[in-house]
């Protein structure tokens, strides 16, 4: 489960457990477009789940031409795809499957198109989830999605800012030059458990370590919400946008 962010009118930021306001613009300065060439065309795949417009706005600020759509022709012409989402894995997987967009996404990935999964979207990249009796995912990355195991006294879902540690030597575009200790906004009760340690880009800690970013080839995922993670979140999205121009 990747829960919908709670409403809160407090100012949220790294080191705070306050919830980021729903639909709020990402704080911090906009990030320059990637390079001197044309802005990459990135589609936020619309399968009816998640804060799609917030992700679209953040991608624009990170230097992309972004659009939310389920139109097959527009998806086929995109330089990159983003699959976001909140809520329970089985419901997200069902909506993606019934829309037929699961096969569209798989086909674009097979063609070499960069894909970024965000929050529930990252979980859907994997083979299956144990949530609510279980469901199959896209199978683009090997491994299951299982319940987060917090330390005694920590509540679920995990909601708030969490610093991350990047895997040594990672070349993932999601790192985007960010240092260890960069903080990102998380809302989730389940986590991916990649079978291949080489797929792990970054880990957070909520009483025990959990995987919060992954990359394999041109398939990437962030358990956190970059669109709600201030300037560092924009840098992650810019890193993905740059990857979409190669």
Residue 218 is among the residues annotated as catalytic for this protein: no
List 131, 220, 225, 244, catalytic entry: 225
Residue 225 is among the residues annotated as catalytic for this protein: yes
Rounded CA-CA distance 67/75 in Å is: 10
List 119, 158, 218, 244, catalytic entry: 119
DSSP of the chain: -BPPPPP--SPP-TT--SPPPTTPPPPSPPPPPSSSSPPPEEEEE-SS-S-HHHHHHHHHHTT-EEEEE--HHHHHH-SEEEE---B-HHHHHHHHHHHTHHHHHHHHHHTT--EEEETHHHHHTEEEE-GGG-EE---SEEEEEEE--PPTT--SSEEEEEE-EEPTT---TTTTTPPTT-EEEEEESEEE--SSGGGEEEEEESSSEEEEEEEETTEEEESSBGGGSHHHHHHHHHHHHHHTT-
Residue 98 is among the residues annotated as catalytic for this protein: no
List 56, 60, 131, 227, catalytic entry: 227
Q: Residues with catalytic annotation?
A: 119, 225, 227
């Amino acid at each position: 489960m990747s829960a919908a962010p709670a409403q809160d009118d407090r100012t949220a930021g790294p080191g705070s457990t306050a919830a980021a306001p729903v639909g709020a613009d990402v704080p911090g300065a906009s990030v320059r477009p990637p390079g001197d060439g044309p802005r990459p065309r990135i589609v936020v795949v619309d399968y009816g789940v998640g804060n799609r417009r917030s992700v679209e706005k953040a991608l624009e600020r990170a230097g992309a031409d972004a659009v939310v759509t389920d139109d097959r022709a527009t998806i086929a012409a995109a330089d990159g795809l983003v699959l976001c989402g909140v809520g329970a894995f089985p419901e997200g997987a069902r909506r993606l499957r019934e829309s037929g967009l699961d096969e569209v996404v798989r086909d674009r990935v097979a063609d070499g198109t960069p894909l970024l999964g965000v929050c529930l979207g990252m979980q859907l990249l994997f083979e299956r989830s144990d949530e609510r009796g279980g469901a199959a995912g896209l199978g683009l990355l090997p491994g299951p999605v299982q319940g987060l195991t917090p330390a005694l006294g920590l509540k679920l879902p995990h909601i708030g800012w969490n610093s991350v540690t990047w895997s040594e030597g990672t070349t993932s575009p999601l790192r985007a030059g960010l240092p260890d200790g960069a903080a990102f906004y998380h809302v989730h009760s389940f986590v991916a458990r990649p079978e291949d340690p080489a797929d792990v880009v970054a880990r957070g800690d909520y009483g025990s370590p959990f995987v919060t970013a992954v990359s394999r080839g041109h398939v990437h995922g962030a358990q956190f919400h970059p669109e709600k993670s201030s300037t560092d979140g924009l840098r992650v999205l810019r890193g993905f946008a740059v990857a979409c121009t190669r």
